[in-house]
Chains A and B, each alone.
Chain A
Amino acid sequence: MRIAVLSGKGGTGKTLVSVNLAAVAEKATYIDCDVEEPNGHLFFKPEDIREETVSIQIPIANETLCNGCRQCVDFCKFNALAYIRNKLIVFEDVCHSCGGCVLLCPQKALGEKERGIGKVQKGRSGNVDVHTGILNTGEASGVPIIKKLLDDNKDAPSAVTIIDCPPGSACVVMESIQDADYCVLVAEPTLFGVHNLNMVYELVRLFQKPFGVVLNKCLEGENPAEKLCLKKNIQILGRIPFDHALGMLNSNAKIAVRENKTYQTIFAKLLDTVAKEVYHETAPHS
């Protein structure tokens, strides 16, 4: 089963939940799709890392064939091309790699070359295969890296795959949940948390993904996130109490379930609850 963990707001505990759910399973694959700021690998400290560059295709002009008609410059919606002093200049970091200029050049003067935008690292940490996507600083879009991470996992899925998603609800989040069988939404008990929870709630409903909420950092007193769940009839999968010791472990990048039996029990129970939900919601197949 493929489980995506998302939150809308940053800092609610996506990585805490993803990392620990993966670690508590018998065998799992953890995929870090937060390619701008991947953090899961800081907890797993994976070994035997294999690295692959992720590239996109960028146009390159054959100057002998180019006659300066500028149709490519005018066509490019991203303004990645300029024609100056009889030379075509390609702005590689602005190019979205759509291939349009190559297609339309009447002189067939445009070819393509590869350009690295980031990398995918795969390693192991005990029972977990750790796949991390890393976007190079300043690159426009992490989508190709997320696509590669998810495509690679299509071939050899573990029984449990946990997808740690980026915060927000922009296109990178949508890309990350594409293949998920189930979405776990992590919420914190603040007004900010609820506001952003609502956003991802709309998102998973739009994509018709079965989902449930984990209430994290629960304190005494009223919990606005819990209120929202009750109001909208959203399944509450579990409650993780606000806990200084857990916070300390997490801030030192320690995997809670590997350090302490109490947390192992909490997350094992959560994984079990999620597995039951996945079984109910999806057609019974592995």
Chain B
Amino acid sequence: MKIAIPVDQKSLETNVCVSFGRAPYFLIYDTTTKESVFLDNGAAASTGGAGIKAAQAIVDSSADALLTPRCGENAANVLKVAGIKIYKTIGDSTGHNIDAFVAGKLPLLDEIHAGFHGHGGN
């Protein structure tokens, strides 16, 4: 299956990015073939709606799951409709998180934070 991870640089040795919507790149990793593809995140420079655009990119990449430290409400909605599960990363290392996911050790991401326009739980 394919998993998506927001990352700081285009390398498997890089750190997981603290933000999903404004991450500079996404790593799309195929757990079966072990192939990696890096996508530029066009949403990073958006003045608004970054999470939505980023989530659309993840959907278009055919990823089955997203690994991220946090996720905003709008992005989460997009991913939910698409049936893509969101898992919470542990620590910075991209490699460790991939291994942890494959081993079934990563938890699902529960706390979805309000979008940057504050629309949580209205």
Interface residues of B in 83-118 (CB under 8 A from A): 83, 114-115, 117-118
Partner of B52, one of A79, A87, A138: A79
Report the Cα distance A82→B51, complex, angstroms.
11
Q: Is A283 an interface residue (CB 8 A)?
A: no
* Residue B122 at the chain A interface, CB threshold 8 Å: yes
B77 interface contact, C-beta 8 A: yes
Q: Are B52 and A80 in contact (CB under 8 A)?
A: yes
Enumerate A79-110 residues with CB–CB distance to B below 8 Å.
Answer: 79-85, 87, 89, 91, 93-94
Structural contact, A82 and B52, CB atoms closer than 8 A: yes
The answer to whether A94 and B52 touch across the interface, beta carbons within 8 angstroms, is: yes
Using Cβ atoms and an 8 Å threshold, which residues of chain B touch A140? 48, 117
Given A91-B74, A138-B118, A140-B117, A82–B48 Cβ distance below 8 Å?
Answer: no
Q: Which residues of A contact B59 (CB under 8 A)?
A: 82, 84
- Among A82, A87, A93, point to the contact of B117 (Cβ < 8 A): A93
Q: Is A139 an interface residue (CB 8 A)?
A: yes
For residue A192, CB closer than 8 A to chain B, the reply is no
> Smallest CB–CB gap between A161 and chain B, Å?
32
Q: Is B46 an interface residue (CB 8 A)?
A: yes
Min CB–CB distance B41 → chain A (angstroms): 12
Contacts of B117 in A (CB 8 A): 93-94, 138-140
With A89-B78, A94-B48 as contacts: A82 and B56 at CB distance below 8 Å: yes
| Of the residues B48, B77, B122, contact of A79 by C-beta under 8 Å | B48
Asked if A233 is at the interface (CB within 8 A of a chain B CB), the reply is no
Does B63 interact with chain A (Cβ within 8 Å)?
A: no
Q: Which residue of B lies closest to A92 (CB)?
A: B119
Interface size class of B (residues with CB under 8 A): 20 to 34
* Min C-beta distance of B107 to chain A, whole Å: 24
**Complex Cα spacing A78 to B117, Å:** 13
Do B119 and A79 have beta carbons less than 8 Å apart? Answer: no
Q: A84-B59, A93-B119, A137-B118 are in contact. Are A78 and B78 (CB under 8 A)?
A: no
Instruction: Say yes or no for A61: interface residue by CB 8 A criterion.
Output: no
- Residue from B47, B56, B82, B83 having most chain A Cβ neighbours under 10 A: B56
Residues of B near A80 (CB, < 8 A) are 49, 52
Q: Are A93 and B82 neighbours in the complex by a CB distance under 8 Å?
A: no
- Contact among A79, A83, A89 with B50 in the assembled complex (CB-CB below 8 Å): A79
Q: List 14 A-B contacts (CB under 8 A).
A: A79-B46, A79-B52, A79-B53, A82-B78, A83-B56, A84-B78, A85-B83, A89-B78, A89-B81, A91-B49, A93-B117, A94-B52, A137-B122, A140-B48
The residues of A with any CB-CB pair to B shorter than 8 Å are 73, 76, 78-85, 87, 89, 91, 93-94, 137-140
Q: Which 6 A-B pairs have the closest CB atoms?
A: A79-B49, A138-B118, A79-B53, A94-B49, A84-B81, A84-B82
